[in-house]
Amino acid sequence: MKVILRTCSALVALAVAMQSTLSVAEAATATVTTQPSPGADVLPYFNDPSQDPSLSTAQLLTALRKKVKYVFVIFHENRSFDSQYGTFPGANGLYSDGQNPRSAANTTGFTQTYTDSTGATVSVQPFLIGPSQNATAIDSVDHSHTGLAAKIDVVNNVAQMDKFAYDEYNRFASKGGSANIAEGKQFARLVMSHVDCNTVPLYWQWASHFALFDNIFATEDTPSSPNAIAMIAGQAGETQWVEHGNTGTTVTVGTNTGTLNPPPMYNDPQPFWGSQFDTTTTNKQPAGTNESYSNSNISANLTFASLPLTFMGRNATTLTAQDLAPATDLADVKDDVPFITANNSNQVNWAWYQEGYDLEATDTTSTASHASFISHHQGPQYFGYVANNPTQTPHLKGLTDFFSDISNNNLPSGGGVFYLRGGYTNIAGLKTPIQNANYPNTAGLTTAEITKVQNAYLGDDDHPAYSDNQISEALAARTINAVASNPTLWAQSAIVITYDESDGFYDHVAPRVLSYGPDMLPLSRGIRIPLMVISPYARTHVVSHVEGDHNAVIQTINAIFNLPALASLPDEAAALVQGMNAKFNGPNGFVQQYLGPRDINSAISGNLLSAFDPRRLVGLSAPLPASLAIVPTSVVNTLPTYSGKGCSAIGITPEDQRQGLTNTVPAGFNTLPSTLPAYN
C-alpha cells in the first residue's frame, strides 16, 4: 500500500508569510509504504496510509505544532543504510525495492571486483555477518573524502556505486608486502558485509514499531566533521567558500604555527574553539584528549548560519550582541541576524549533549577528563557565534547531563531541540559481547585477544573501530526510555535516530550529485544513511521513501518551531545565487546550484513530516503508547541482546530469509583485520 501526502494551495500563503521550510505545495512529499506482516505488537495500532484523512499541509502543521514540543536527535556515527537495514522487510535494500524482490543483476554495485596481486579478478558480493562472527564489533573502513569519492565512482555526474571493494583492497595492497595484501583482501570483504536483527534487534524493533526512512543520505561525501556541521547548518561551509574562497589563514600562537583549514570542510579538522590557536582564557571550549590536534588539523572559525542562530528567534540581535568578537564571528550573518529578529519567531530552547564534553559519570575525579570526548564530532563548537558567546556556550553539555536533566525535570517546560552523541567510551559501563570465542581464531581467542577487543570497543556512538553496535543501541534505548517513561514528556515528543555518514560501507542506492568541492571531487551528497522517527504521533510499521539528507531534519525542526529556513536567510540566499557563477563550476561545467543549505522543501530535499500519522495528530486515533518505544532495563543492560537471537525475539523475518536466499560468509573472513591482523 502507498500514499502520497497531498497539500492544498493554502500553503502558498503560509510559506510566504512565515518563510518556512515548506515549498509552495508539497507535491513531492514522501511516498509512504507499509512494511509486510505487522505482528501482534503493532497490529492494534496500525493505520493504513491509504485511509489518511484529507489534510492540507497547513492543517497537518497546525496539528503537529500543538502536539510536538520536544525534538530529540540521537545522532550516531558511520553506518550505511544497507549495512544496517539491507534486509529489513519493506525497505529498499539489498534484495528488494521494499515491495518486490530484486535480483543481484538489477542491484547497483551488488557485484564488486578488483584485481589482486596475482593479476586475478576477484569478485565480492554482500553477505550477512552476525553472532557467529562477533558482528557487534567490527573495524572501520575507508571513509576519507577521497576514499568515499572513489567508492561511489561518479561518471558524468552519476554515482556508479561500484568501487567499494576496489578502494579497500588497493588502499592496503598498494603498499606491497603479504601482510598488506592480506589486510586489503579482508577489508574488501568487510566493506560489503551487513547485519540484521540478530545484531541490532533494538534498532529493527523501533523501525518496525514506528517510521523508517530509506532514502536519506549524508549531506556531504566526506567523513564525520562536515556532516556533524551539516546536521545543524545543512552544509559544511559552502556559503563561506563562496564568500571568501578556499585559502586557509596562517596563524601563530606561541610556538604553534599552522594554516587553518578553510571551508568547505571535507576532512576532519578539529574546531578552532578549544584548539591551540584559540587564545580564550576564561571558559575555553574543551579539547578531546584522545583527538589529533596537530597544527595542520584545525578548522577555520565557521561564520555561516545554522540552527543555533535561528533558534535565537526574535532575540537574535540581543543575543548575538553578547558575542566576544562580533567583527569576525558575525561577519557572514550581518543581514541574517536582523532578518531572524524581524521574523519574530519564539526563541527555541536547545542543547547539544555529547559524551566527554564536561564531567562524566566515567570520570574518576571531580575534574572533567574529556577522555571520551570526540571534539571533531561537536558540530556547534565550530561556530564562533556559539563557542565565543557566553549566552550560547551553556547549550553545550555532557552526556551525563542529559540523564540528570531528564531525571530532575530540568528540561525547559516550553520544549526545544536536544541533540545526543556518544563517544569513545560508555557511561553505562557495558562491554562488547564476545559471542563466539572461536572467531576469527578457530582454535579460540586468547584472554589477551578478548581483552584487547573489549578494551577497544567501549564506545557508544556506533562508530566502527571503537564502538559496539549493541552498546550504541543501549545508549539509544536509555535515551528513549528516559523520554518515554515520562508521560508528560512522551506526549509532546518526537525522537529522530540517524547517522552522520556511512563509514564507507557499501550501499546500492546512488546519491544524487548536487555539488563538487574546490578539489573537483563530489561534495554532496554522500552515501545513504539510516533514519527513523519515533513519536506517539508517528505512523507505525511503515517506510517513507522521501529523498533528503540532514537538511530533512532541519526542515522538520523549522516546521515544528516555525523557524525561517536557513536557505531563506539573506546571506545564505545570496551565496546560493553567487555559487552558480561559472568560477565555482564543477567538472565539465557543472553548475553549482546548491553551495549552501537546502532546507526548503523541494523535489530533491524533503522533510520528515511523512513520519507522522494524520489520524493521530487530529485525534481520530489514539497516540501510540510509550510501551512501543520502551525497552526493558534488563534487556538494555544485558549483552548480547536477546542472547544473539534478536530476530526471533522481536518477531521479524529478514528479507533474505523471506526469499529463501542462501548466505555465504567468505572462508577465513576476519571482521577485525586491523584489530586482530594475525587472522588475516
* pLDDT, tens digit, 9 for 90 and up, residues 217-226: 999 999 999 9
Would you state the pLDDT for residue 28? 30
Verify cis geometry, omega within 30 degrees of 0, for the bond prior to 440. Answer: yes
Helix %, strand %, coil % for the chain, to 5? 35, 15, 50
Query: Which residue carries 503560509 as its cell?
Result: 14
* Ranges of the chain with pLDDT below 70: 1-30
Verify cis geometry, omega within 30 degrees of 0, for the bond prior to 640. Answer: yes
- Relative to beta strand 531-534, strand 493-499 is antiparallel
Grid cell digits, residue 314: 526574535
Whole-number Å distance between alpha carbons of 415 and 65: 11
Whole-number Å distance between alpha carbons of 218 and 221: 7
Q: How far apart are the first and last CA of the chain?
A: 46
CB 415 within 8 A of CB 448: no
- Largest distance between two CA atoms of the chain: 70
* pLDDT, tens digit, 9 for 90 and up, residues 108-128: 999 999 999 999 999 999 999
**Closest to 416 measured CA to CA, from 22, 73, 74, 62:** 73
Would you state the pLDDT for residue 30? 52
Q: Look up the pTM and report it.
A: 0.95
- Relative to beta strand 531-534, strand 211-213 is antiparallel
